[in-house]
Structure formats: structure tokens, C-alpha cells
Structure 1
Amino acid sequence: MQSCSRTEATRLLCAGVYLDSDFRHKVIEELVEHEERPIAPSLGIDAGAVLSHALRARTQELHVACVMLAAWAAFFAFEVDTGGLHIDFADGRWLDMPVLWAPAYAVVCCLLWAGRVSTGRSIAVYTLDRATLKRATHGIRRLTLLLPLFPRTLMLAYWATVLFILFTKGHNLYAVYFPLLMTSVVWLHRSRVAWIMSHQLDRDVFPRLPPPPLPDTRTYRRIGRAIAREQYAGLALYDPSRPFVGAGKPYEPWSFAIELKPKRGAEVSDRPLGTRTIVDLIRPRLEALRESMAVTSRDRLGDLEIDEIVYLPAGAVPRTSVSYDTATVAWHIRNAVDEGGEARRHFLRIRISAWQEHIVVTLLVRVHTQGGMLVLEVAPHVLTPVRPEFTAVDVIAARARLVLRDGLQALLTSPTATFASGVSAIGTAAAVCRTWLADPQRALPDGPVTSVRELGSVEEISLFQEMDVSRYVKTLQDRIASGVLDALRTEGYETGEFEQQIVNVSGGVFIGAMSGGAVAVGGGATAEDRGGRGGRT
């Protein structure tokens, strides 16, 4: 499997950790907090690069939270020192209860943050404006509900009251200064994120830059080495209840078993028909498809990748005890291909990346011949597109020099970002403490639960994408079937039953020799045999 560190999907996922705190939290949880789990096969992405950006984004938000905490402390301290603002009425009486601006602003910020949470929009410190999010998601969300009217009205009332009293009474300058100070912190954070988007994650720049390093600590060096040796390896640890984590959603898997019967009058080799023989006949047909497509068209089938992978059950040994060196992987492939066991399983893996790595089609093919039987299992899987809001990285990169526009955006989003940074800091502290207490390096071995690519994917695909997936799967299945068929013919075995199975899998009807009778096809169809006088279907 070739390196996928600089693909378009990797770029978008790296951008996504800055735009969606929930996605970032899940990436760090899977790769850091559960170090006992091996990483799932990374198809079309580099999980190490995504983790590096996720940790950087978390650190930046932690810095924002620390500065915000200091600003809030100074805001409340100044409020206590001045005693708030007593409102002077026309008859000379003073209001007994002073107006406290810091608690009032805190309540409004909390309500705005709660409103954003209730609508399901990202609560990262860097938030997308409404127009950008609508363009990125093609209007699939109900954006009119993203910023509830009531908290926004309260914020307008706060600023109207503060500015009115400031210009008429000359009081409460601090009620303006501290919110603007928080806005400047958010503005600075947004500028840093925009710089990363334009200088490191830009579409033209990203492929030329090396992946960013992980933090230089013992823990992260260990995690980085584990990701590097596992994500593209020919071995994959799995949990029996989660066999193909990382490959995406199953797409019409099928299998069948036929008896190996020597063809009448044909010479059958003394050597039993082995799995390696069939695999070696399937693979050239797939490679020929790649070569022909690369010459005659720009079809993605010309870029298909073919390799062999062995799945090993997790839990028997710790993750660190599994060797991924070339000799060990080759030994497993060589010995597992004819094994046909329940635990260690050998697969021929065919991968097609389409739609700029938004769609990844993977076929996992297993063949085993034991006890006079041939069993063929084909498990297609599809990785759905990366979430559309992550494509806003290109918009952010293009606007990186619009300083005043981003400053206004910071003013509008700073109330929500104020609380978002605090919540992010609390979550970071809890995660670090939880990881330290759990000591995942020494936890019971487990298989992967999800992959970084799956965490950043949508649920559905478009009609065009569905049509392409169907075409890829059917084309590859035809080549796989032809390879098995040739193997049976070459070794002198009957092929009629196999051909029938293949036609049935393809949704058709196989008819061998037939004298009389009737055939019905389709839902609700009927068939009647009239003794050779014709049939009614």
C-alpha cells in the first residue's frame, strides 16, 4: 500500500480538526487515549498527520482558554472593586441593586454557546460564518436555527445599554474594554488558524510539505512509531465483532461454496488445487485491467491498488508484541493463504480511490480450497465522502488576508468562542487525567473500534457516486470470477456449478441443459409447464 500522507482526504481531515472540536476529540481519543488498540488500516489517508494537527489545534485552544480565564478574572475583579454601576433616576433616588456587567455578559455568552450546542453546529473556538458553512454543505443544514434569536437579542441589548450609559454618563468603560479584549484573543486565534490553512493546508502547498511532527515526548514518539508501522502494514489486528474496521461500510458482500469435481475425461493434476494458484490467476487479471484503463481512458480503475493482507485476532498478545517487519508479514501471507482457519485470515485487497479520495472502494477477496470444496468470499466496502464542511479550508485560505473582515467575524463569534475555549480546556484536562489514570499502554489488548477516515465521513453518497461504486464493484467481481474460472478449467475441474453461482450473484438466471419446464424472473412473476406446448411467464 503506497503512502497516502499527502492526499486530498488527508488535507481535509487535517483541516477538520480545527473546525470541529468533536471530531478532534474523537481522533485523539482513538489514537492516544486507547493506545492498547492498534490503528485500523488507513485507506487513502495518513492518520499520523491528522493526529499531529489535532494535537496542535487542541494546544492552541488551550492557550486561548488560559488567556480568556485571565481576562474573565480581571473582568470580575474590576467589577468587585468598582462595586458595579448604580443607576441614577430622575427624582434623585439610586437603585439599591447595582448593575453588574461581568455576570450579565457571562450569562449572554453562556446562552449563545448553549444555543449553538442545541443546533448541533461545531463549538470549536474557530467557527465558520453562516455563508461559508452554507456553501460548503450545499445548504443541507437548517442554518436559520444556528444562532437562536433570543441570545442574539440579549447581546444586542447588552451592547446598546453599555454604549448608551458610556456616552451619556461616562461610566463603565471596563464593560466595553474587557469584551473587546476577549474579541482580540479570538481574532488572534482565528488569524493563526487562517495562517495554517493558507500556508500548510492549501491545496497547492499541502502535497509539497512533509507531515508535521508529533510532540517530542516519550509517549507521542511511541504512538507515532506505532501508527507508522501499522497503518499501511500487510497485517491488521481485529476484533471478531469488528472485522473490517477502516474499510468503510459493507457493500453487498457475497460468497459461495462449490464442490471440486474433476471434469469427465480431463486429466486432473496430482497436486490439489490450492488457494495460491487461484490468487495468482486473479491478480494478473486485475493488474491487466489497471494497465488497460491507464492507457485507454482516465477511469479510476487505472489507479487501483492490489495487495495482500492478513487479519490476526487481537487480544492474544499486546499490541507492542506484534512484529510488522517485512519478513514477518511475508511469513504470515505465505502460511495463511492456504490455511482457511477461523482466526488468521488471508485476503486479496483491491482498492480504488475516486472523487479526489472522497470515495474509496475496497474489495476483500478470500479463497480457500479444503476438503474437496472451493469457497470464494468477496466483501466490498465503501468509504463515504469526507464531511463537506471541512472543504471550507479553501475558503479560509483565500480569505487569509482579509484582516478587517475576520476581525468583524471575531467580534460576532467571540461570545461563543469564550465559553467554547473554556469547555475545550476542561475536556482536555479531563482527557489527560483519564488517560493517565487508565494507563492505556498496559491495558488489555483490543482491536480497533473505528478509523480516522470513518470518523470524518458522511453517512450518504450521491447518485453519481453510487453509480460509480456499482460499476467498480461489478467490474472487479467479473475479473475475480474469470480468474477463478480459469483456475478450475486449467486444473481440469467442472465449471458448470461455478458459472451458475456467478450468474446468480450477478442477479441473473443460469440455464444449463433444459428440456421442458418454465422459468419466471422478477418479483410477482409466475411460470407454468404445459408439457412442451409452450410456457407462460
Structure 2
Amino acid sequence: MPATPENLRHQAGPVPGDATRYLCAAAWLDRRFRAQLIEELVEHNFRIPAPSPGTDLVRVLHEALTARRWEAWTGALCLLVLVLGSPFFGVPTVVLALAAVALLGIFRGAGTDRLDHRLGLEVERLEVERLDATRRVPRGRQRSTTGAGLVRRLLAAVAVLVAARLVLVGYYEFRSWREYDYVPGLSELTEDWTGYLDPRYSWYLLRDQGISAVLVIVLPWLVAAALRYRIRRRLAAFTDPDPGGVPPPEPKGPRAAWLYGRLREQQSGPELLYRKEAPLVGLGAAGRSWRMTFELRPSADRAAGGRAPDPIDAAALYRAVAARVRALAHDPAYPEDPLRGLTVTDRVFRPSLRHDDPGTWLGAMSGRAGGQVLLEPAWADLLSRTGHERLRHYLAIRVGSWNEEVVVTVLVRATTRGGLLYLEWLPYALGPVAQAYHVIDLLGHRSDLEHALNALGWSARSLVGDVGIAVGQLRQVRASRRRTARLRARYRHLVRSGYAVDYAPRLSVRELGASDDFQNIFQAHDVQRFLNTVTQRVFSAVGDELRARGYDSGAFEKQAQSITNVNNGGVQVVGSNVHGPVAGGSGSNVNLNEGPGT
């Protein structure tokens, strides 16, 4: 095979889904993820959304609302079948059908908190573990020792007794038909209350109402299977790298249209909010930060010539760093390198507790440029010069890799006050989407007939769980709408009364669906490579700017070398001598033999 870029992509395999597609699948697969997403973005819609790098919030929210609406309609249809079936088929028929379905659910373990994947055998072979409700980390299957488990075992024992009675009734009836010419009918058995205790009553009820009961079971089964079929086709569309395979998000009603438009405006803006408990929500896990401070002294050449160095401020340093770091994205020698997607933008963090409406202050420092919302250069320079303690201006360097599943964000801040240069570095790494949501990759390309057969089979196997989940969505939708209306009214009251409102987000959709660990060692190495590369480029940009303006860069270079050594797991000793062994890095230690002089 010739070594060409096309063959290189072929050797790399098919393009996997990106973070947006996996999170859209999570809205269908994980009911807890869906509920938390709707709570944050819909019920508390007055909050400013947290940044979700590489993720289309509108797309993910639309899938969550669509999934909840489909399941709620399925639950309504199932209830309609049971309610309308009571007078048509008879109450005994419905009771008998519910008893049969309930007994089936007891043995199948219906009502557990497993991940609701709804995909079928492909996912079962992957052995997707259920998620913990609070920590959202995979955990192994555990046997239930709670009261619910004891109740389930008790009901299972009752089911065994009922089944045994039906077997005995069938045997008794068979003997009676063979040995006697006359067998009493159902009306004769129920002339008094003792007839209901006769075993033959159970047999007559099963014989006369059995077909109707089966029909009552079949109708919800077909409704639940239709939902599974639609979900499988929807999830299969997320496996196609062609964006046209998934329909665009169309809001249902003016309220949803307003919410979608608001999220599109706010999800990628440069103005972010912070609160005391969680200042930076949405960037991922914090890495090893560093800070350096040194005196700005003239270089030896300028001092010997009696010339003062050129003035320098934070705005000039930001421009120098941005130019040098952006050059990493324009290297034509490596067209497939993730650094080609590197971006450098300005970010400003402001307090979230305000007395006035966000429309009067949010976005006032930003403007549109080429389809993007960016911080105005005049505001960026002003923030760099003033250094307001409640407004923090950073230069945000972002690198997305593995189809935006691994995102590295570095916040750089510089200030020059009183002849001192202060440089701050805050790295964050956002891990990949949880592996449990990658199960859609196993669907592959299947026909509609295969999806239909799979849906029918798995709906018959998990009928109780499907119907219970769908009916439960009705209650959840009603409760969510009541909370949304109550929170909206409370927010309006607070604004009208002049109370302060906290507009900061409580969670990030991207962080909510992220895994705590990398999927492989290559992702961890890529993160480290990005951080080391950007670190060196920032150091070189600041050092060159200092030298070009006539400053002595010796103190800066010493501190930069110390930071580089420590970040690489080594030990840097400045200004002193060390006699004896030295160990550095995570988990390092020194073992000394016991003896004189040790």
C-alpha cells in the first residue's frame, strides 16, 4: 500500500464520534444524565451556562428533551391501553395481565438502576456497568441486601406458590373431565363466597380471561417495542460521521425556541461567571499550576549605555504570547496533528451575584468577528492595564484532540506592577466522554428489519422495565414543569424586589458526561505533550519580548527552567548545594543503608 495521506487515514480506521454525538447518545442512554441536564439548562434557565468545550449544548439538550417526550408519550399510551381496556376486556383480565407482567418483572429484576442502554445484545457483550447516582463512576454489580431486595424475594416466593396452584388446578380439572360427566360452571361456583376459594375458580378465570389478558399484554409490548425501534434508529444515526444523518434541532414551541437561541448566544462567549464555591466550572480537572514573579531590570547593554528599557505591560505580553502560540497551528509539515486546531482567545471572569438583569451587563464587553463572539480589543487592553480584583482577564489557550473528546485549556495571566512581572499559569484537562456512552459505536450499519426484530425481542424480555420507565417519565415531566414554573416565578419576584441572584452555573454538561480517567495511555501522553509544548512556547514568547524591549531575562530563564524540571518530574535546586541522594517525581523515594554517617 503506498504511503499517502489517504491510505494513512485508512490505516487509522473509521472516524469515531465526537463529544457532541456521544453526549447526544447519553441523553437517550442515561436517565440520570438527562435529568441533570434538563434541571440545569431548562429548570434553572436564568443561569448562565458553563463552558462546554467541543460540545453543542443546543444539540445535546434537544436530544434530552426529545428522549423524555418520546418516553412520556409511550407511558401515556400504555396507561391508555390499561385504562380503556378495563371496561372492554374486563377488570379481571387487566388484573390477570398486570399480575403476569409483574411476576415476570420480579424474576427479571425490573426497577434496577442499571444504565438504560436499550440497544440489545451488542451492549450486553460489552458488559456496561451501572453508574453510581452520586459519583457517576462505574461500579460492579452488587447483590441487593436492602428492604427492596427482601420484598422481591418474598414476591418471588408468592409467584412460585401461585404457579404451583395453577399446575394443581390444571391437573385437578383434567381428572374431573375424565372421571365426571358434569363439571360445575363458573356461575355455579361463585353462588357464594366460598366458591372463590375453590381451585377450579382459578382455572376458569385463566381459561376464560387468558386470551384477553394476552391481548392486554401484547398492546403495551408493541408500544414499548416501537419506542425501542425509534431509539435504536436515532442512536444509529449518531454513529455516522456525516452530520446530515441527524436531523437539526427544531424547537417545540416558542419557549424552547427562546431557550435554544439563548444557549447559542451564551455557550461560546468570552465572558464567564464564577462563584466562591466553584470558580471555574466546565474546564475539567485542574493540573499543576505555577506562578513566577521577578524584578524587571534593564539588560547589561542598556545599563552600560545608560538607556532605559522600553515600557512593557500585560497587553504587550498577551499579544506576544498569542502570536507565538498561534504559530503552532500553522505548521504545514504536520497536517494531521491536533495542534492544527489550537485556538487562543481572551476570557474574562466576573462575579455571579448581581442585582440587575444579565441583559444589562452580560456580553457588553464582547462583539462578533467572523461568526465568533470575542472580547473587544479595547476591553481586553483595559482589563490588562487596570487589573481589577473582581474581573480576571486571562489568555485562554485551547487544544482539542481525539475528536474533541480530550480538551486541554490553559489560562495565562500576566501583570506588571511596580517594576515586577507576575506570570500565572492554570492548566485544565477535560477527559473523554464516559466509555458507557461509546456503546453506540457497536451498532454499526444494520437494516430497519434488524432493528425491528431486536426491538421486539428485547421489549418482550424487558417489558416491565420499559413500561415502568415510560410511565415514570410522565410523573417526571409533570414534576419538572412544575419546578420550572416555580423557579421562574421565584426568579421574577427576586428581580422585582431588588434581591441579588446568583447566575453562576452549578455544573457543566461536558463535565457531567466526562470520564474520570483517560481511555488509553495515548490520550494521557497527548495531554502532557500539549502542556509541555505550550509551556515552552509561552516561555520563549515572554523571554523574547523581554530581550527585545531591553530587559534582563536571566531571572526569568532560571525560573522557567526550574518550572520545566519540576513539571517533568525532576528536582530543581537553586542557590544551594545538596550532598547525598535526591529523589523527585510522584512516588519517588530514597533508601539509605543504615550505618555510621547515614
Q: CA deviation at 1:286?
A: 1.3
The 1:137–1:505 alpha-carbon spacing in structure 2 relative to 1, beyond 3 Å, is farther
Asked if the contact 1:37/1:448 (under 8 Å) is kept, the reply is yes
Asked if the contact 2:225/2:456 (under 8 Å) is kept, the reply is yes
Asked if the contact 2:105/2:462 (under 8 Å) is kept, the reply is no
Answer yes or no: is 1:411 the counterpart of 2:460: yes
Residue equivalent to 1:485: 543
The 1:136–1:39 alpha-carbon spacing in structure 2 relative to 1, beyond 3 Å, is farther
Residue equivalent to 2:278: 242
Residue equivalent to 2:198: none
Structure 2 gap ranges (5+): 1-15, 131-137, 171-202, 369-373, 495-500
What secondary structure sits across from 1:295 in the alignment? Answer: coil
What is the percent sequence identity of the aligned residues? 26
Residue equivalent to 1:39: 49
1-side partners of 2:342 and 2:257: how far apart? 33
Answer yes or no: is 1:135 the counterpart of 2:126: yes
1-side partners of 2:93 and 2:259: how far apart? 52
Q: CA deviation at 1:273?
A: 1.5
| Of 113, 122, 127, the match for 2:115 | 122
State the AA in 1 paired with 2:421. L
Answer yes or no: is 1:215 the counterpart of 2:252: yes
Q: CA deviation at 1:192?
A: 1.7
| Of 548, 551, 560, the match for 1:502 | 560
Asked if the contact 2:271/2:362 (under 8 Å) is kept, the reply is no
Residue equivalent to 2:392: 345
Residue equivalent to 2:96: 101
1-side partners of 2:205 and 2:243: how far apart? 50
What secondary structure sits across from 1:337 in the alignment? Answer: helix
State the AA in 1 paired with 2:22. L
Answer yes or no: is 1:376 the counterpart of 2:423: yes
Deviations 1:288-323 (A, max 9, x none): 22222x423632122212212222222224333334
Asked if the contact 2:54/2:405 (under 8 Å) is kept, the reply is no
Residue equivalent to 1:326: 367
The 1:464–1:134 alpha-carbon spacing in structure 2 relative to 1, beyond 3 Å, is farther
TM-score, normalised relative to structure 2: 0.74
Deviations 1:63-89 (A, max 9, x none): 0111121223345556864489xxxxx
Q: CA deviation at 1:283?
A: 1.7
Residue equivalent to 2:316: 277
2-side partners of 1:353 and 1:67: how far apart? 44
What secondary structure sits across from 1:172 in the alignment? Answer: helix
What secondary structure sits across from 1:347 in the alignment? Answer: strand
Residue equivalent to 1:532: none
Q: Tell me which structure has the larger Cα radius of gyration.
A: 2
1-side partners of 2:441 and 2:392: how far apart? 42
Greater shift after overlay, 173-182 or 59-68? 173-182
What secondary structure sits across from 1:296 in the alignment? Answer: coil
The 1:247–1:78 alpha-carbon spacing in structure 2 relative to 1, beyond 3 Å, is same
Residue equivalent to 2:339: 301
Q: CA deviation at 1:326?
A: 0.7
Asked if the contact 1:245/1:449 (under 8 Å) is kept, the reply is yes
TM-score, normalised relative to structure 1: 0.82
| Of 502, 506, 509, the match for 1:449 | 506
2-side partners of 1:486 and 1:300: how far apart? 26
State the AA in 1 paired with 2:266. E
Q: CA deviation at 1:354?
A: 1.3
2-side partners of 1:168 and 1:441: how far apart? 57
Residue equivalent to 1:27: 37
Residue equivalent to 1:421: 470
2-side partners of 1:315 and 1:129: how far apart? 47
What secondary structure sits across from 2:250 in the alignment? Answer: coil
Deviations 1:355-390 (A, max 9, x none): 222211111111111122211111111111112222
State the AA in 1 paired with 2:472. V
| Of 583, 590, 594, the match for 1:522 | 583
What secondary structure sits across from 1:382 in the alignment? Answer: strand
Structure 1 gap ranges (5+): 1-5, 85-99, 528-535
Answer yes or no: is 1:468 the counterpart of 2:468: no
2-side partners of 1:233 and 1:155: how far apart? 60
Q: CA deviation at 1:50?
A: 0.7
Residue equivalent to 2:326: 287
The 1:137–1:122 alpha-carbon spacing in structure 2 relative to 1, beyond 3 Å, is closer
2-side partners of 1:339 and 1:415: how far apart? 63
Deviations 1:44-65 (A, max 9, x none): 0110111111111111111011
State the AA in 1 paired with 2:30. D
The 1:510–1:261 alpha-carbon spacing in structure 2 relative to 1, beyond 3 Å, is farther
Answer yes or no: is 1:255 the counterpart of 2:291: yes
State the AA in 1 paired with 2:409. T
Q: CA deviation at 1:133?
A: 4.4
Residue equivalent to 1:436: 485
Answer yes or no: is 1:459 the counterpart of 2:497: no
Asked if the contact 2:22/2:433 (under 8 Å) is kept, the reply is yes
Answer yes or no: is 1:227 the counterpart of 2:222: no
1-side partners of 2:54 and 2:302: how far apart? 46
